[in-house]
Structures are given as C-alpha cells and as structure tokens.
Homo-oligomer: A and B are copies of this chain.
C-alpha cells in the first residue's frame, strides 16, 4: 500500500487555497531545512571515542552512511573517527549548513558565536545547564537565541537530543537509544516532534517494534528558538512525512502550536499528540526540568480537539496509532467487522468496539449462510467466530473475511476490519498459507482498513505494515488503534482558526465590576440576560419586583462580592411586595455581618424563571493559549463530575455547537427525563459572544455566566462575573 498519501487520507490536501503557505508558517519553519535535511554538518566538540556524547553523532552518521559532508571540530586531533578534523569551525574551508555544539555549557556561547561567524544555517546545541537551571542560565540562553535571531541562524536546544532523518543518514543526536540493537530507526512516514528527547526516542523504539519507520525525529529541549510547533509546521509541509507524532511538555506560543496543528489538518496529515505534565505533580515536574510553564491542560485539550489531533494517553498508544496510520487507507466510516478464531476474543473486541463508539453492523443473512457453509458451528453474525476449526484449515478466516467484504456481505458496508488471529504468525506453515490470502483481500478491498490482533515479531509487523496491515498483539489495543483511524478518517477537514475578529477594544471601567456592570458589558457583547432592575432600598426593590412580575430573585449588588450566595446575598422565590421588602432588609443585614468590608450598592431584582436547563458558560485567559471557552451543565455537574468542555478563541458557531455536544451530560440538553430539548444554538451564540468579548478585552482575566438558563427557545444569563487581570 502506498500509505497515507495514496490512500485519500489527505482530505483537503487538494484544496489549492489550503496549500498556499501562510506567512506565520513560513516564519516558524523558516530555515529548518538545514535542521532536518542538512547537506553538511560540523560537530563542535567531536570526540574520537564513539561512545562519548561528542563522539556519538559522528559515529551514528558514519554508520548510517550520511551522504553529505561531515566536519569534526577538535582542538588538537588531526583526525576524528577517520575523518579530517579542524581546530575551529571557522577553519573549515567549505560552507557548513548545520553545526552541532557538543561542548560543556561554559564553552557553548563562544562555540555558538563562532558558528554564527562561520555562517551556518542552524545550530543544534546538545549542551545542558541553561534555562533548566534557573534565571541565570535562562539569561545566557536568551542572549544566545537573540544573537542567532540577529544573524538569521536557527537554534535547536540547548539541552536537546537533536535530530534524525534515517533516509538521508542524518543522526545529529547523542541518543543512547541508538546503542541498542533493537531500535535503529528505519526510514518511514512518521515525523516525530518532541520536546523531551528521551520520551521521543522511547517512542521511536516503540515504533520500531511495530515495524514503523520515521521520516524525521526532532527533540527541541529548552526551545530557546525552534519549538515543537515550528517543527510540526515544517513536517506538515514535508513530502516524506505522512503522520506526525508529537510529545509535548509545555509550549510558550500557543497560537503557533494551533496554527501548526491546523496546517497538518489542512494537509490531511493525522497528528498523534502526547501531552505530559497534566496533573499538578506532573506540571511541577515539567516546570522544574525545562523551565516551561505548562499552561492549563484545558488549553491543550482544546487545541488538540480543534485540530482533530488524537490525544494518546500512553507512549504505546501513541506508537500504535501513529504506526497504524501508515498501514493503509483511513476508514471513511465507523462500521467495524470483527473476525476471530476465538469466541472469547470476539466478545472482548465487541466490548471494546462498544466502548469506543464503533458500530458492529450485523452480517447480511446471505453472507451468514455462506460462513456457516464453511464451518457449521461458526458464529456468523458480527463478531464472526471461525472457531478452532481454523487450526485445521488455515484459509477459513480469510475466506470468511472475503465473504464479509464481498458481494454477499456488501450491505454491511464495512469500513474497517479487525481480525484476531492469535498464534498464526508463530507457525511458519500456517502463516505461509494466510499471508497470500490477506494480500489478496488487501488488493481487492483498497478502501478497507485492516488491523490484525496476533502475536508477531517486529520483522513480521514491519512486513505486514508494508503490505497494509497493522499488527497489534493486544486485541483491545488493536481496537483502540482502529478507533483512532476512524477518528482521522471521519473527521471533516477543519478550517484553520479564523483570525481574531476586529472588535474595537473598548476599555472597561476602572475598578472591580459589580454584577450590573458585568451584565451590561456582556449584554452589549451580545449575550441575552434576564430582565433586572437595580434597587437601592427595600421600597425600590418591592416596586421593581411588581414591575417585573412575581416571583422574583434578589441579589446583593457589590463590586467586592463575586460569590454572593456565600455571604447570604441571594434570596429566591419572593412572592409578593412584602416578602421582597423584608428580604431586602434581611439580606443586606446578613451580607454586612458576613462581609463588613464590602461596598454594598443595593440589590438586583429579577423575575424567577421556570423550566429550561441551567448551564455554565465561561472564558478564562490561559497563559499559553489566551481565551479558553468553557461550557458545562450547572452546579454539581461541573464541580463534582467535571463534565466540562473547552475550546479556544476565536470560536466559530459550529465549534461552539461541537463543544456543547461533547459533554457527557448532553442528553440533558436534548430532552432527557421528559424535559423539553433546549436551544443549543442560543448557547453557542452566547459562547461565541463571550470569546469575542475576551479577545477584545485583553485586560479581562475571566468571564463567567453561571447560570445561563438554556430554554426551549433562546436562553438567558441569570448572573455574570467579569474579573480583571492582575
């Protein structure tokens, strides 16, 4: 199989408009050809000992048959690992595209300056002891990056593991993964862009186990200049790369990451993303070893969802999904066929399919009869169990697959087939029978994705991958990979995020904002609110209530009280003027007692509403990604069940609708338990309005409408909080 590019996975790739590089991508990926595909490499700090850090890149590239020029730089040796050496990089008589700096931190800045003077295109700095150690190291690192920027030189690292490009023999890395015999990377279609070198090389070896090769590997380390996002953008445009696997710890420029992911989507390249530092302890670990602030996990999750990336939760999952993407076509639907040599494994796969939202259409009657004609005691529905009879006749399973995918099974329209073959590949005789039958199936059904769950050696996995079959030993994990393929194959091409709308920034009034001011601002931004009147005394409150209609709610009005109910500042269900007046006095008394410092400006009077579903809409400003929109059902659903969905701003109405639909409690919006369905469009409009407001007001730290009452038609905010930064 031709892999992804031949398979139609590149949805949107033919769209001429999307092919036009945008200025941002050019900027981020500018000059990275010299990083990924250098024609000449100097190694500053080259060692004569191939096992030493400074000796490894040279040894690796010699072993890999790098076809460009290699220049060891060594203060005294005339020759290093058989190559002529130079005392300084400036002594090299020819131009140099890439300089590897493999010297201790103290000597690195001078080596960098020499490389800049030499006129290299990119510097790969292995040296550690900079930003990861604290402020002093960070200052040195930033100064080096500034000098590179001024000279138009790109800098990878410092504190990075370098790059690999097996097709061209580039191994500008000191990774210890290459010393093992199992893991020498082969050329392939997966591009790895990772911050952590070790995590990335670990993925590399897991890919090798799965028979998958790589186009490029790059580890960005401290990211003084080149970051993971820039590398993803470069890989998105790289013809050799079909799938991108990225391992992120943090990221300084969320917008750049977002653009890079969007570019991958536009080019039809699946992105498999592993993000670590999610938990408090994990984020602290990330901060301590790279000096990168992780940002909120909500922001990353939103960025991945927006671009249709698959978020892997383990390195094995990342490797499985990336490798599976290179096997063959991406399924165009979620209709799964399961065939097994074991009923137990069939039930296991059916469970996993249900958990992952794949469909198991029943096999048409005619096909069932044909299957039973082969094995009378087979289970012919779906999963199909060919039983242990396959031990006597190895062709049974593939013949059943042919029936399922052929004319008799056509009505089932399978997009993807997972076959549990157990030990077939461990039996040479059996495998020799099954393999050609699989190849025939593959040839006859070029639009079907095939995944095999069976025991197999890395060599067998590689051979099968090249023939268009992903092999995964664990059946549940094979199904997980199938679900990822369906995710990529059924996702519509995503438009790139729209540029932020040109909303004329309008300064907020000075000082903290009370609820009335917050309502006014958000209403102007387009969010509808329940009617409300400000009352400065009990009589005014009763009058307002009479005008609005009973029953009413009364809420204390104060710029200093974001959590009104905590201080007794909310009274609900007041049924007549007398109750309102009494409640006003009682409430203000209670609030004054509970919060004696708070400025109290009166109360807001609003009618009580019936019906609808309480939701929470909010936007918080993430340090990495800017405004992040939050949606959830009110109260306990957010606080106890954490049933919330996040998306980045700017947010389109379609994205907001997808966000609303992604919560677990979605059924509550659609009329569960006899309630009427509510107007999701109105919620989406309010979310879009909130994100526009946040984009237009960079001084706003967060906005929350809690609750926003979603009604069968429309919706109304019942409360509003706008908090300023700092």
Question: CA separation between A296 and B508, bound complex, in Å?
Answer: 58
Judge if A177 is at the interface, Cβ distance under 8 Å.
yes
A279 engages B672 (CB within 8 Å): no
- Least CB distance, A666 to chain B, in whole angstroms: 8
B347 engages A286 (CB within 8 Å): yes
B316 engages A347 (CB within 8 Å): no
- Least CB distance, A100 to chain B, in whole angstroms: 15
A284 engages B474 (CB within 8 Å): no
Q: Given the known A-B contacts A133-B377, A198-B422, are A673 and B342 also in contact in the complex, defined by CB atoms under 8 Å? A: no
Give every chain B residue within 8 A of A643 (Cβ-Cβ). Answer: 641
Contacting A343 at CB < 8 Å: which of B274, B290, B377?
Answer: B290
B426 engages A182 (CB within 8 Å): yes
Nearest chain B residue, comparing its CB with the CB of A383: B285
- Least CB distance, A420 to chain B, in whole angstroms: 8
Give every chain B residue within 8 A of A283 (Cβ-Cβ). Answer: 347
B285 engages A385 (CB within 8 Å): yes
Per the 8 Å Cβ criterion, residues 241-295 of A in contact with B are: 247, 249, 274, 276-286, 288-290
- Least CB distance, A695 to chain B, in whole angstroms: 31
- Least CB distance, A269 to chain B, in whole angstroms: 23
A348 engages B198 (CB within 8 Å): no
Judge if A413 is at the interface, Cβ distance under 8 Å.
no
Judge if A549 is at the interface, Cβ distance under 8 Å.
no
Among A343, A385, A423, A639, the one with the most B-chain Cβ atoms within 10 Å of its Cβ is A343
Judge if A502 is at the interface, Cβ distance under 8 Å.
no
Per the 8 Å Cβ criterion, residues 281-324 of A in contact with B are: 281-286, 288-290, 313-316
Judge if A504 is at the interface, Cβ distance under 8 Å.
no
Q: Given the known A-B contacts A343-B285, A347-B285, are A128 and B473 also in contact in the complex, defined by CB atoms under 8 Å? A: no
Question: CA separation between A128 and B197, bound complex, in Å?
Answer: 54
Question: CA separation between A176 and B53, bound complex, in Å?
Answer: 47
Judge if A462 is at the interface, Cβ distance under 8 Å.
no
Question: CA separation between A133 and B387, bound complex, in Å?
Answer: 12
Question: CA separation between A343 and B289, bound complex, in Å?
Answer: 6
B343 engages A202 (CB within 8 Å): no
A198 engages B388 (CB within 8 Å): yes
B205 engages A423 (CB within 8 Å): yes
- Least CB distance, A177 to chain B, in whole angstroms: 5
Judge if A180 is at the interface, Cβ distance under 8 Å.
yes
Question: CA separation between A290 and B347, bound complex, in Å?
Answer: 11
Judge if A565 is at the interface, Cβ distance under 8 Å.
yes
Give every chain B residue within 8 A of A290 (Cβ-Cβ). Answer: 343
B565 engages A674 (CB within 8 Å): yes
Contacting A198 at CB < 8 Å: which of B247, B345, B383, B641?
Answer: B345
Judge if A350 is at the interface, Cβ distance under 8 Å.
yes
- Least CB distance, A85 to chain B, in whole angstroms: 23
A672 engages B640 (CB within 8 Å): yes
Give every chain B residue within 8 A of A467 (Cβ-Cβ). Answer: none
Stretch at the interface among A19-27, A149-157, A352-360, A403-411: A352-360
Contacting A128 at CB < 8 Å: which of B205, B313, B387?
Answer: B387
- Least CB distance, A368 to chain B, in whole angstroms: 11
Per the 8 Å Cβ criterion, residues 625-641 of A in contact with B are: 635-636, 639-641
Among A383, A422, A430, the one with the most B-chain Cβ atoms within 10 Å of its Cβ is A422
Copies of the chain in the assembly: 2
Give every chain B residue within 8 A of A202 (Cβ-Cβ). Answer: 345, 422, 455
Contacting A423 at CB < 8 Å: which of B180, B316, B351, B383?
Answer: B180
Judge if A381 is at the interface, Cβ distance under 8 Å.
yes
Judge if A391 is at the interface, Cβ distance under 8 Å.
yes
Among A202, A377, A379, A473, the one with the most B-chain Cβ atoms within 10 Å of its Cβ is A202
Give every chain B residue within 8 A of A196 (Cβ-Cβ). Answer: 342-345
Question: CA separation between A199 and B453, bound complex, in Å?
Answer: 12
Per the 8 Å Cβ criterion, residues 572-623 of A in contact with B are: none
Judge if A665 is at the interface, Cβ distance under 8 Å.
yes
A277 engages B351 (CB within 8 Å): yes
Judge if A707 is at the interface, Cβ distance under 8 Å.
no
Question: CA separation between A288 and B665, bound complex, in Å?
Answer: 34
Contacting A354 at CB < 8 Å: which of B282, B455, B664?
Answer: B282
Judge if A668 is at the interface, Cβ distance under 8 Å.
yes
Give every chain B residue within 8 A of A433 (Cβ-Cβ). Answer: none
Judge if A206 is at the interface, Cβ distance under 8 Å.
yes
- Least CB distance, A159 to chain B, in whole angstroms: 9
Nearest chain B residue, comparing its CB with the CB of A340: B198
Give every chain B residue within 8 A of A350 (Cβ-Cβ). Answer: 277, 279, 281-282, 284-285
Per the 8 Å Cβ criterion, residues 171-186 of A in contact with B are: 174, 176-177, 179-183
Judge if A341 is at the interface, Cβ distance under 8 Å.
yes
Judge if A685 is at the interface, Cβ distance under 8 Å.
no
Nearest chain B residue, comparing its CB with the CB of A129: B377
Per the 8 Å Cβ criterion, residues 659-704 of A in contact with B are: 664-665, 667-668, 672-674
Question: CA separation between A315 and B472, bound complex, in Å?
Answer: 12
Nearest chain B residue, comparing its CB with the CB of A359: B281
- Least CB distance, A234 to chain B, in whole angstroms: 21
Judge if A477 is at the interface, Cβ distance under 8 Å.
yes
Nearest chain B residue, comparing its CB with the CB of A316: B474
Nearest chain B residue, comparing its CB with the CB of A133: B377
Give every chain B residue within 8 A of A351 (Cβ-Cβ). Answer: 276-279, 281-282
Question: CA separation between A128 and B205, bound complex, in Å?
Answer: 43
Q: A residues touching B (Cβ–Cβ < 8 Å)?
A: 53, 128-129, 132-133, 161, 174, 176-177, 179-183, 194-199, 201-202, 205-206, 247, 249, 274, 276-286, 288-290, 313-316, 341-348, 350-351, 353-355, 360, 377, 379, 381-383, 385, 387-388, 391-392, 422-423, 426-427, 430, 455, 473-477, 565-566, 635-636, 639-641, 643, 664-665, 667-668, 672-674
Name 28 A/B residue pairs within 8 A (Cβ), A-sorted: A128-B387, A132-B343, A177-B422, A180-B427, A180-B455, A183-B455, A196-B343, A196-B344, A197-B344, A198-B342, A249-B344, A279-B353, A281-B353, A282-B348, A282-B350, A284-B350, A285-B347, A285-B350, A285-B385, A288-B343, A289-B344, A289-B387, A314-B477, A315-B475, A566-B674, A636-B665, A639-B667, A641-B643
| Interface pairs A-B: 8 shortest CB-CB | A196-B344, A180-B426, A289-B343, A198-B342, A279-B354, A314-B476, A199-B344, A282-B351
